[in-house]
């Protein structure tokens, strides 16, 4: 039998961070504490009440009455996969609008499922033109239209109401990725006519990664019920998962009990703050960040009218070293930001101000640290970023 040396591993001690990358965001102490409550069984009456409360809170978060609103037992990507595998069958035609990594991932999943992919592209860093989607939807018999609300790879916020109408006119389901928007900007599932939606916990909800909130409306459930072939994934098959989360309480798989404790507490924190106040906070910190960054002479990737407030893509300035800058921010200040993905690698930094990481302290510390590091690299700093950011906060305090 292999012998195990027990002495070589030390106590966990991650050290202090300010998580300002594309997620995870900083997790509040109350969420960590709730997560470490004693584990109980997944069919324990107490846990069933926790599940009910979590579902109620999630419905309010998605602004939906959808009965099937649950956290899927995997990270946000499992939420994406759950929606596609349940709603798409081999031979179906699926329209995906792509303007970044996560739309590209949707296409990958559609191909794996043996469906026919109709892909509508927009430049990375720009919103998708609804007219392009409309034209494609008219030329094919589309079962589902899928789009990313908040592209984590580019920092673009996609308006959804027009796309929802196009999908409905085409007789198609409308599926939306809200991984980086839910809890930071409005997501109004019922009002906008979204049929299926998923998110993650580690972005604007500031809960550790590990769960994917998903909500399916009546039209989506009808498509699930009308399938000709079984859902290819047993683990994510919503026709069974819903009987565990529903009144039947039928065992499917063992729920990640402590992660659901954490999500419930994260959602309770949102409830205490209120959605309107939370969205206003995210907007204010975004405006201060942009004011500071632009005062320093740096440029944002995304045009102002299409910017996502929770994830900010800053063009890497002339003379700045991508990796060395990020490494210095992390090692000297504990600040994590993200690099660019795909075609934007080396071209942008991704700065998340999401959930508990969306505070004046985070914005100020980031601007100060970035200025210091860039100055050391010989990058010219145009003006005073801190002063510009503070002016935004000062104006808000007067209001």
Residue from the set 133, 185, 214, 255 that interacts with a second copy by CB under 8 A: 255
Tell which positions 29-88 bind a second copy, by CB under 8 A.
32-42, 44-47, 50, 53, 57, 59-60, 63, 73-78, 80-81, 85
Cβ proximity to a second copy, 178 vs 389, nearer residue = 178
Q: How far is the CB of 295 from a second copy (least distance, A)?
A: 27
Residue from the set 330, 368, 391, 396 that interacts with a second copy by CB under 8 A: 330
Residue from the set 132, 141, 161, 272 that interacts with a second copy by CB under 8 A: 272
Under the criterion CB under 8 A, does residue 108 sit at the interface with a second copy? Answer: yes
Three-state SS at 214: strand
Distance CA 57, CA 61 (A): 6
Which tokens belong to 289?
A: 């960040």
Under the criterion CB under 8 A, does residue 274 sit at the interface with a second copy? Answer: yes
Residue from the set 123, 230, 303, 319 that interacts with a second copy by CB under 8 A: 230
Under the criterion CB under 8 A, does residue 104 sit at the interface with a second copy? Answer: no
Helix ranges (DSSP H) in the chain = 29-35, 45-62, 76-87, 101-112, 130-139, 161-169, 189-192, 218-225, 238-245, 257-273, 275-295, 322-333, 360-376, 385-398
Distances (CA, A) of 194 to 147, 168, 173, 358: 11, 9, 8, 27
**DSSP letters of 165-196?**
HHHHHTT-EEEEE-TTTBTTB---HHHHT-SE
Q: How far is the CB of 309 from a second copy (least distance, A)?
A: 17
Under the criterion CB under 8 A, does residue 276 sit at the interface with a second copy? Answer: yes
Cβ proximity to a second copy, 208 vs 213, nearer residue = 208
Under the criterion CB under 8 A, does residue 243 sit at the interface with a second copy? Answer: no
Per DSSP, 320 falls in state: -
Tell which positions 119-138 bind a second copy, by CB under 8 A.
none
Q: How far is the CB of 16 from a second copy (least distance, A)?
A: 7
| CB contact at 8 A, 178 and 191 | no
């Amino acid at each position: 039998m292999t012998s195990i040396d027990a002495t070589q591993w030390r106590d966990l001690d991650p050290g202090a961070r300010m998580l300002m990358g594309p997620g995870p965001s900083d997790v509040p102490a109350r969420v960590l504490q709730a997560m470490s409550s004693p584990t109980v069984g997944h069919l324990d009456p107490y846990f069933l009440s926790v599940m009910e409360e979590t579902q109620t809170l999630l419905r309010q978060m998605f602004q939906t009455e959808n009965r099937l609103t649950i956290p899927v037992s995997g990270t946000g990507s499992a939420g994406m996969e759950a929606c596609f595998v349940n709603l798409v069958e081999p031979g179906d035609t699926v329209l995906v609008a792509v303007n970044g990594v996560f739309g590209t991932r949707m296409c990958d999943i559609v191909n794996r499922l043996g469906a026919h992919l109709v892909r509508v592209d927009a430049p990375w860093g720009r919103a998708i033109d609804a007219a392009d989607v409309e034209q494609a939807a008219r030329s094919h018999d589309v079962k589902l239209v899928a789009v990313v609300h908040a592209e984590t790879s580019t920092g673009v916020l996609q308006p959804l109401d027009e796309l929802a109408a196009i999908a409905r006119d085409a007789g198609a389901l409308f599926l939306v990725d809200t991984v980086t928007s839910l809890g930071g900007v409005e997501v109004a599932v019922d009002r906008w006519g979204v049929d299926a939606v998923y998110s993650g916990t580690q972005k604007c909800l500031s809960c550790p990664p590990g769960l994917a909130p998903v909500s399916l409306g009546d039209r989506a459930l009808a498509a699930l019920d009308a399938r000709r072939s079984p859902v290819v994934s047993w683990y994510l098959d919503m026709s069974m998962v819903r009987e565990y989360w529903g009144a039947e309480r039928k065992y499917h798989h063992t729920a990640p009990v402590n992660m659901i404790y954490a999500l419930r507490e994260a959602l309770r924190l949102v409830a205490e703050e209120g959605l309107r106040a939370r969205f206003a906070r995210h907007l204010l910190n975004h405006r201060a960040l942009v004011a500071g960054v632009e005062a320093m002479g740096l440029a944002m990737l995304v045009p102002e009218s299409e910017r996502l407030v929770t994830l900010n893509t800053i063009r890497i300035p002339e003379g700045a070293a991508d990796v060395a800058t990020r490494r210095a921010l992390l090692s000297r200040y504990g600040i994590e930001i993200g690099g660019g993905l795909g075609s934007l690698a080396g071209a942008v930094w991704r700065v998340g101000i999401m959930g508990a990481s969306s505070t004046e302290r985070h914005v100020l510390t980031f601007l100060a640290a970035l200025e210091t590091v860039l100055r050391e690299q010989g990058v010219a700093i145009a003006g005073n970023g801190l002063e510009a950011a503070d002016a935004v906060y000062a104006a808000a305090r007067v209001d």
